[in-house]
Amino acid sequence: MDQLPTTEAAVTALRALAAEYGLAIEVTHDIGADQTSRRSAAGIGVTTDPDGTLPHEAYVELGGRPRVDVRLFPDDDALITVDGVECPDVARDDVPAFLHALYEGHAWVKARRFPPSHFLMVPLPGDRVHKEFIPVGLSPWLSGRVQ
């Protein structure tokens, strides 16, 4: 898989993915330490990190089903929300593979009888699976993937 060294490279990869699957895409950029969500301690008017870099964060909304939002953080990770299920700490390099798994139908919902619970399971390269607890009810899209 290609390395996504910057937030902008990740946004470009998501635009290509949206075009591949015919999805609408909306991107919002937050640039500067005073604008990004993880830099709330930055002083007023401070836009760079202590090392002089300008942090760049992006929020991406993809149309279609499932409903997917991606927040790309400057720290090389992302928060992906799938029909209300938050999947934090996804490596930025894994975001395209994560979304391909969703749109290709490879992701599934694992149901456990006792205690009753559901987990979103998303296969990733290298025989890895991202497993996320589903704390609320299942959307129609998630219900259709229960195993």
Radius of gyration of the chain (CA): 16
Q: Range with the lowest mean pLDDT among 2-6, 90-94, 137-141?
A: 2-6
57 strand-pairing partners: 30
Which position has the higher pLDDT, 29 or 14? 14
Confidence band, pLDDT 50/70/90 cuts, at residue 117: very high
d(CA 62, CA 82): 10
Please check the confidence at residue 90 and state whether its pLDDT lies above 80.
yes
* CA 9 – CA 13 distance, rounded (Å): 6
Collapsed DSSP state (helix, strand, coil) of residue 100: helix
DSSP assignment of 20-60: HHT--EEEEEEESTTTSGGGTTSPTT--S-TTS---EEEEE
- What's the confidence (pLDDT) of residue 86? 96
- In 3-state terms, what secondary structure has residue 80? strand
Structural domain boundaries in the chain: 7-106
Chain segment 38-89, per-residue pLDDT in tens: 544 445 554 554 455 566 688 999 999 999 999 998 888 999 999 999 999 9
Calpha distance 62→111 (Å, rounded): 26
Q: What's the rounded Cα separation, in Å, for the pair 136 and 20?
A: 31
